[in-house]
Amino acid sequence: MQYDGNEIVVQAKPLVYGTLRELASAPTVENGFWGASLTLRLDDQPAHFLKGARPKDAVNFSNAIREDWEAAIQADLEQSRALIDALVLQIGELSNPATYPAACVVSPILERARGLDQRLLSKLPQEALEDAHRGQIDKIQGFVRNARHLRQQAISAFEERQLVQWAEFFETFESNPLTLEQRKSIVSDEDATLVLAGAGSGKTSVITAKAGYLLKSGARRPEELLLLAFASAAAKEMSERIEAKCGEPLEARTFHSLAYDIIGTVEGSKPALAAHATDDKAYLALIRDILRALVKTASEVSKSIVGWFSHTRLDEKSEWDFKKKHSYYTYIEKLDLRTLQGEQVKSFEELMIANWLYENGIEYEYEPDYEHKVSEGGFRDYCPDFRLTKSGIYIEHFGVRRTKSADGTYRLSTAPFVDREEYLAGMDWKRGVHAEHETTLIETFSYEREDGSLLDALAEKIAPFETVNPRSPETLFDRVVELNQADSFVQLLGTFLKHYKGGGYQLNECAEKGRTLKLGKRASTFLSIFEPVYSEYQTQLNGRIDFEDMILRATKYAETKEYRSPFRHILVDEFQDISRSRGRLVKALKAQHSDARIFAVGDDWQSIYRFAGSDINLMRNFGDEFGGVFDGQSGVHRTVDLGRTFRSVDQIAHAAKRFVLQNPAQLNKTVIPAGTSDMPALKVVSTIKADEKNKLEQVLHSLQGTAQRMQPVSVLLLGRYRHLAPSNLAQLRRKFSDLDISFRTIHASKGLEADHVVILNMFRGRTGFPSEIVDDPLLSLVSPEAEPFENAEERRVMYVALTRARKSVTLMGSASKQSAFVSELLDDPEYGTTGADEQVEFNHTCGECGGHLIPVPTKDGRTWYRCEHATLCGHSLNACASCGIGLPDRNKTTGMSKCSCGAEYPSCPSCEDGWLVERKGRYGSFLGCVSFPRCKGKAKIAKKKN
């Protein structure tokens, strides 16, 4: 070891250098049998040892360093006196802080204190310190050790004082005094503060009062405040309320108006807005025109576009992917398999065949009557799958696959829910009919599609009989437009484009995600179409910008600091609707000032705009996304729960909370209802299609009875979709004049409230509620990750619907296809839902496919039942002969079927849901299935005992 009066060198491998001020402590010497051992410690390094030195040399060397080191740190102590005094003062002020001790405010104090402690204070020899100095050092070191606790104490002290000091402001800011929860959220001023606001909890009051508080207290000047809303109407309302309450003109802005201003500031002028940016119809028309142009000018793309409408737009599933017939039928109905010729077909493979015929100019009929009168099984006239008009050739497509046996023969198999022997017998019967009547039959098979040869094989089989005359891509595209099949694809492209652009995605990222999600050929085909569409769309902007450009360009200017932000407080309303791109802009603005804060108000229970790009994860991970850093802890933020609702009574408020929290990913919050109700507030009314209007009128009649003179009762009719608006709404308003009746979709009802809410058409189905029309899986390539909880967003939509009501909610349920949400509310007694008990339930299963039988009233007051899959299944049953309404339920133990009216019948031995009734035959009376002639089940009439 060497020391030259300032630098210390340790001759080790590698060499170690250090100065006096880098010593962690004075050197130490210990004498041993083999000589002295000298220990020397430098900051942030392991100890260095020198062994076997002469004791006298080691002591002299150590003392020389010690004396100089103590002198140096004493000199440093004197030089740091001003810093120490300032730190002690700042730490002392935390006991009674004048401003909110946010992480961004206290963290610099902590960092200075920790640096001073490591550099100097921890090295000071206690015996050399005066008492006053020792007290200061203890205070600083105590703060370093307990910074989080001391900051939390400071926050509590500040908030308590502010609540008292600003009590009058909080009492008078609105017509009613702000609640304690609202006041706490307003005085809270962490780096990032999230106010969890339930439905009807006064979100707008909180965000406007927060702005007023910051201005009135002098914490911020108007130009340092940024209020952000998603809709211009909400922004205008906030601006007006702040000016009215505070006398300060403060403009709340939408994200787009802010972004436009940022661009104008940096570029010196604002680029023109694209004409279609504010007009959805014009935007979609532009996408459609781009598609049409690509069909005409780009041969490879035109093939992909035509192929998309032919069959690649659909999932590549088949009957073999389903175990139950009902599941397969449900899937097929959702796809709406409509051909280019216009008819609806019953399988994906039939669609491929029909569209190939149409594309190649071969005229055909779908499921025509066979030219000879032949009944299949004595029940239904034979209708082959296709007949080629010109040649008279028939095509039958057989849903069979094949596996090769060891002996080289093939074994045919059918889908899991199909009776193989019965299906193969049907194939033989059809072949026999054509052979008997000498008509030509072309056969196609599912195994041909499985090995990718279906259409090539079809072309080869047809070639001897028909000449192909392919239609041009332009003709085919015009046909698609004519059939209104282009609209949904144009909508998908338009939505995808906005998400793609707004999220800053790249095509290769989307392709890779498509492979990860196993979206198959459908995704790759879509991207091959989207790429030239996007390129042409960008070209057509021609220097103008759209709303996605606004946010992206403004964010880039904020991130690069080409735009210098004046904002030190960013207040965001309806935070649950924020998207990734908007979140980036907020972060970029906050990052420009070390003391900038974010104050966000939102309700994750009302996050229902994922289809528009909102990402609920930004709210769920609020601290990680927007929080500050303090004492080695990242994501520092404050969450305040407003809790109290000023709208709904207890039964609605608590039921809605319980309902939405079935999804464990939702943030838990306190809910304090607006009042209590002695009467049931949630009621279910069961309906069938034929009596929906009458049942709604009965509900309105009962609500009209609650109206008091000069006080109209408001009734909000809610539907999951626009088309659910009652067609006789004007008539209902006239008939129930004491009621203020309005209709909204649930999405459009956000922010509204009414005395009573009636939720229409709560049935199970594609356009039911919960809706089964899910976002196209392709949007997952440019969207936040889907939530794993079933119907996660639909559950939040239901929460929004429930919480529009002050006094009662009536759910118009279904007697035959009950909504899963209604069933949940009825089955769990904790919800307190009433109704439907006294009503006849038409919840019967189709014995043919496992679907549901729907009641259909007849003119004579009786009922018959048909399967929900009317086209694909077609099964039907007459009602019980005794009551004319119910369906007998089968008891497998007794072998009898019993109706709710009490009538009993022997169960049919041949089918799943039939029962036996007396019939007349050639040889007298016998018991035959009620479904004869579809079912031939029968039994002898038991002889009566004497």
d(CA 330, CA 314): 15
Query: Which of 776, 833, 794 lies closest to 660 in space, CA to CA?
Result: 794
Annotated binding-site residue? 706: no
Q: What dihedral angle (degrees, nearest 10) is formed by the CA atoms of 786, 789, 794, 796?
A: -100
d(CA 76, CA 120): 7
Dihedral sign for Cα atoms in the order 371, 375, 381, 385: negative
Annotated binding-site residue? 80: no
CB 150 within 8 A of CB 143: yes
d(CA 843, CA 822): 14
CB 642 within 8 A of CB 202: yes
650, containing H or E segment: helix 650-660
- DSSP assignment of 290-346 equals HHHHHHHH-HHHHHHHHHIIIIITS----GGG-SSHHHHHHHHHHHT-B-TTS-B-S
d(CA 209, CA 168): 13
36, containing H or E segment: strand 35-40
Annotated binding-site residue? 212: no
Annotated binding-site residue? 874: no
Beta strands in 223-317 (DSSP E): 225-229, 253-254
CB 852 within 8 A of CB 846: yes
> Whole-angstrom distance between the N-terminal and C-terminal Cα of the chain?
125
CB 858 within 8 A of CB 884: no
Residue 342 carries which side chain, given as an amino acid letter?
Answer: G
Asked if residue 14 has a cis previous peptide bond (ω within 30° of 0), the answer is yes
Token duo for residue 284: 């979609």
d(CA 946, CA 930): 29
CB 356 within 8 A of CB 458: yes
Token duo for residue 26: 């004075």
Annotated binding-site residue? 200: yes
d(CA 535, CA 529): 10
Token duo for residue 535: 């390129």
CB 439 within 8 A of CB 432: no
Pairing between β-strand 597-602 and β-strand 192-196 as defined by DSSP bridges: parallel
Residue 150 carries which side chain, given as an amino acid letter?
Answer: L
- 831: three-class secondary structure by DSSP: helix
Token duo for residue 96: 């009674």
Beta strands in 80-218 (DSSP E): 192-196
150-175: b (≥16 Cβ within 10 Å) or e: bbeebbeebbeebeeebeebbeebbe
- DSSP assignment of 675-686 equals B--SS--EEEEE
Token duo for residue 27: 């050197």
Question: What phi and psi values does residue 326 have, to the nearest 5 degrees?
Answer: -60, -45
Contacts of residues 245-252 at CB distance under 8 Å and 24 or more positions apart, as own/partner, are 245/173, 245/208, 245/209, 245/212, 246/211, 246/212, 246/215, 246/216, 248/212, 248/215, 248/222, 249/222, 250/211, 250/215, 250/222, 250/225, 251/227, 252/227, 252/228
Annotated binding-site residue? 689: no
Question: What phi and psi values does residue 534 have, to the nearest 5 degrees?
Answer: -65, -45
N residues, the chain = 946
- Annotated binding residues, written as ranges, equal 197-204
- Annotated binding residues for ATP, written as ranges, equal 197-204
